[in-house]
Amino acid sequence: MPYERPNITELSAYVSGEQPTDGKTIKLNTNENPYPPSPKVLEAIAGVSGELLRKYPPPTAASFRRAAAEVHGVKPENVIATNAGDELLRLALTVFTDPQSDGRGIAVAEPTYSLYRVLAGIHGTPVYAEMLTDAFGLPEGWEGRLAQRPVGIAFVVNPHAPSGRLESIDRLAEVAGALQGRGILLVDEAYVDFAGRSALPLLDAKRGLDNVLILRTLSKGYGLAGLRFGYGLGHAGLIAAMDKARDSFNTDIVAQAAAEAAIRDQAYARSTWDRVIEQRGVMTQALQDRGFVVGRSESNFVLAQVPVGSVPAGEFYGRLKAAGILVRYFDQERLRDKLRITVGTPEQNRALLSAIDLILKPAKV
Amino acid sequence: MPYERPNITELSAYVSGEQPTDGKTIKLNTNENPYPPSPKVLEAIAGVSGELLRKYPPPTAASFRRAAAEVHGVKPENVIATNAGDELLRLALTVFTDPQSDGRGIAVAEPTYSLYRVLAGIHGTPVYAEMLTDAFGLPEGWEGRLAQRPVGIAFVVNPHAPSGRLESIDRLAEVAGALQGRGILLVDEAYVDFAGRSALPLLDAKRGLDNVLILRTLSKGYGLAGLRFGYGLGHAGLIAAMDKARDSFNTDIVAQAAAEAAIRDQAYARSTWDRVIEQRGVMTQALQDRGFVVGRSESNFVLAQVPVGSVPAGEFYGRLKAAGILVRYFDQERLRDKLRITVGTPEQNRALLSAIDLILKPAKV
């Protein structure tokens, strides 16, 4: 096709985890919450009238933004509502990096969420990539090198995916400080609801940082991956710039109502987080007992290196799939010997361990 | 703020029509369908379970695309589902125009939907603009000039907004032919449900055109402006290119279910179109009787030039607003003496005419 831009022709599109629809597969591959959303979300959805559907929705999701601002102790002008976190990522790239004049690009430390690279490819923006430390920490001296390069956005997913490691707030502040005046730090907190702390304190005026944007999503913590609703938290200037570039009515009336109900029911959401965190501990221990190497995760998944001398990770993935259980395998550097396993319900987790035992047994002989 | 790209700083953001929430205003300003969506849409929305919300949605809205393909007599690979028409416009701009290498831009004939220019501004793509004819037809000899310029997309809203005029299919074929091999023709059929014909025959293989993309939306014809659901119809190559660049899960599970229910209930939708078309005739006549100049509209609005010697259009708009009735006034060339009036229910339309009579009476003295 001669019609699309060369960078689209060359692009390797983002590959998401498999989404079987057989209703039988145990899905531990895409980090969904194992529990459904609050009953209040279903009520809110059922309560949207034909008259509300007929008319354009509130363009900036004002009511949701007020609710999110209350929950996080910020102001509505510090909040932008988006179609899941993915829209926020694209919007930030569109606004804060530049394929034209000065070639401002993005910085990533890999492995990380692979969509960052894909979005940069669509936008036509350079990618300044380095490797994370062996412990999946940010690279030593990264701040200094960021300060030397034309970086519009540094992307840090925290807790990190796919390792689950949580970076310190002070380290994130150093990264933001190195970019201040030239670029922003985007902290992707897709999984933060399962972690011990958020980078939100970076938005405190007393930190003196005006270049931190925090991504949140309802996909994981609120059991709403199907709803595609996320939001950004940041300095009002960053939010206003993105507000100019978003699609005019980017979130719909049903999603706005559902998202507000979800975020207002913190008690329900927290009860699902607590259950996931408890099971994360159970699973980490159970996998370690079976010879897997599992680091400390602050997310709703664990990254597990398969036992040395057992089945290679790619084959392990395939045999679990044959047994009706999907986990995630990444055929890439640093991850080729590991499986990323979403923490499921106790029943799902037990089924996984049984399937693992069946695979390990012959290998142990 | 030093962080956003220069073109975002310079951008004048899109201005949508006013959205009062008082529940009393008669809204004839943003071309919503005066009738709510099919009851089957509400059933579909209420039927979405917590379990469906918890999981990622089908990434390409496969079930909706099959339904749309059946309705239009094309194949699912000729359909892309988007967050309303606006996402399709942005996606097309991202994919088929180029702010970098060759500077491929967009062509528009104005006045037209003002978002085209805004999206080009966000993307950093040149705009090749001409004026429409006095009758709001495409400019004489446009095809020849398009062939001389680096045009990635020519945007034609058809029926035209804000005049309601319908361009002939043969003329559109000539425009597409002039661009073939270099750029695409995007026919924005946001209002086509109220028109006598669609440009869909341009997709017939026997036309030999591989560069026509047709925009459809559920916002107007299906009474679903609140849902933000639209789609594109075109050559499979164009759809595949856009599919690479869209957000990974761009439409949500509730919207997919609602959209499929809406498009499958053609009989209900058609009943609303028929009522709007009938009232369009009534309103055109009634406005002409009062001295307005009103051209033939094939849309769900009319463009009415205020009677010579009466109140200026801008003031007319203000006095209607004071009377609790919103219409649209555009303070720009060719439109400064006109009002764009959405066709409402018979009751809304009678209220508008009464308010107009009160404004015209003193001017007639």
Per-residue pLDDT reduced to its tens digit, B160-174? 999 999 999 999 999
Indicate which of A252, A253, A326 best probes the interface with B, i.e. most B CBs within 10 Å of its own CB.
A252
pTM here? 0.96
> Is residue B16 over pLDDT 90?
no
CB within 8 Å: A54 and B41: no
CB within 8 Å: A51 and B57: no
Residue percentage of chain B with pLDDT more than 90: 91
Which residues of B are less than 8 Å from A32 in CB distance? 54-56
> Is residue B2 over pLDDT 90?
no
Give the 3-state secondary structure percentages of chain A, helix then strand then coil, rounded to 5: 45, 15, 40
pLDDT at A362: 63
pLDDT at A102: 65
Q: Say yes or no: B51 contacts chain A, CB-CB below 8 A.
A: yes
Which residues of A are less than 8 Å from B250 in CB distance? 83, 228
Q: Say yes or no: A15 contacts chain B, CB-CB below 8 A.
A: no
Which residues of B are less than 8 Å from A37 in CB distance? 50, 53-54
CB within 8 Å: A50 and B41: yes
The Cα angle at residue B155 between residues B152 and B160, in degrees rounded to 5: 170
pLDDT at B343: 98
pLDDT at A17: 85
Amino acid at A143: E
Is the interface score ipTM higher than 0.90?
Answer: yes
CB within 8 Å: B59 and A19: yes
Using CA atoms, how far apart are residues A318 and B81, in angstroms rounded to an integer? 32
Pick A252's closest partner by Cβ from B54, B97, B228: B228
pLDDT at A101: 63
Q: How many residues does chain B have?
A: 365
pLDDT at B18: 86
Pick A84's closest partner by Cβ from B9, B55, B249: B249
In this structure, are residues A347 and A28 in contact, taking their beta carbons and an 8 Å threshold?
no
CB within 8 Å: A2 and B182: yes
Span B226-264, pLDDT tens digits: 999 999 999 999 999 999 999 999 999 999 999 999 999
Using CA atoms, how far apart are residues B14 and B8, in angstroms rounded to an integer? 12
Using CA atoms, how far apart are residues A21 and A11, in angstroms rounded to an integer? 28
| Residue B151: φ, ψ to 5° | -100, 120
Span B27-36, pLDDT tens digits: 999 999 999 9
In this structure, are residues A272 and A33 in contact, taking their beta carbons and an 8 Å threshold?
yes
CB within 8 Å: B226 and A55: yes
pLDDT at B7: 87
Q: Say yes or no: A4 contacts chain B, CB-CB below 8 A.
A: yes
pLDDT at A15: 84
In this structure, are residues B76 and B66 in contact, taking their beta carbons and an 8 Å threshold?
yes
> Is residue B175 over pLDDT 90?
yes
Span A186-217, pLDDT tens digits: 999 999 999 999 999 999 999 999 999 999 99
**pLDDT band with cut points at 50, 70 and 90 for residue B216:** very high
Q: Say yes or no: A227 contacts chain B, CB-CB below 8 A.
A: yes
pLDDT at A170: 97
B178-217 residues touching A, CB cutoff 8 A: 181-184, 210-211
Closest chain B C-alpha to A143 CA, distance in angstroms: 18
pLDDT at B364: 47
Q: Say yes or no: B11 contacts chain A, CB-CB below 8 A.
A: yes
Q: Is the peptide bond before A111 cis (omega within 30 degrees of 0)?
A: yes
Indicate which of B1, B82, B228 best probes the interface with A, i.e. most A CBs within 10 Å of its own CB.
B228
Mean local confidence (pLDDT), B80-97: 97
Which residues of B are less than 8 Å from A96 in CB distance? 3-5
CB within 8 Å: B98 and A58: no
Q: Compare all CA atoms of chain B with the CA of A121 and give the residue at the minimum distance.
A: B245
Helix B236-245 vs helix B84-96: crossing angle, to nearest 10: 100
Mean local confidence (pLDDT), B314-343: 96
- pLDDT in single tens digits along all 365 residues of chain A: 479 998 899 898 888 888 887 888 999 999 999 999 999 999 999 999 999 999 999 999 999 999 999 999 999 999 999 999 999 999 999 999 988 766 799 999 999 999 999 999 999 999 999 999 999 999 999 999 999 999 999 999 999 999 999 999 999 999 999 999 999 999 999 999 999 999 999 999 999 999 999 999 999 999 999 999 999 999 999 999 999 999 999 999 999 999 999 999 999 999 999 999 999 999 999 999 999 999 999 999 999 999 999 999 999 999 999 999 999 999 999 999 999 999 999 999 999 999 999 999 864 44
In this structure, are residues B333 and B109 in contact, taking their beta carbons and an 8 Å threshold?
no
Q: Compare all CA atoms of chain A with the CA of B97 and give the residue at the minimum distance.
A: A5
Strands B105-110 and B151-157: parallel
Output the DSSP codes for B15-64. -PPP---SS-SEE-SS---SSPPPHHHHHHHHT--HHHHHSPPPTT-HHH
Which of B149, B215, B141 lies closest to B175 in space, CA to CA? B141
pLDDT at B316: 97
B/e letters for B190-210, b = 16+ CB within 10 Å, e = fewer, are bbbbbbeebbbebbeeeeebb
Closest chain B C-alpha to A201 CA, distance in angstroms: 21
- What is residue A352's DSSP assignment? H
